[in-house]
Structure 1
């Protein structure tokens, strides 16, 4: 079963979907430009993920 949540890009604040804890970038531009994404889980805890390019 897929679990879908809404999170927000830490840089542009645009909403993006998180499915089964896999971050989906808010846009192709953000995928290229952003390294840092803020993930707030269902308990309200900040689970920010940093991706190296």
Structure 2
């Protein structure tokens, strides 16, 4: 739904999140999961990626 252009506020409502930031975390994790499934490789060092993910929680 995210990639079909559904607005983030609509996704927030469908997911039952009170805060848009919760929905944003899920969309970022989803994007990383999709990338991993398609074996997309990033040039970012692993330690930087881990630090970014920790900031999301």
Shorter-normalised TM range? under 0.3
- Greater RCO (CA < 8 Å, at least 6 residues apart): 1
Q: TM-score, normalised by structure 1?
A: 0.23
Higher strand fraction: Structure 1 or Structure 2?
A: 1
Q: TM-score, normalised by structure 2?
A: 0.23
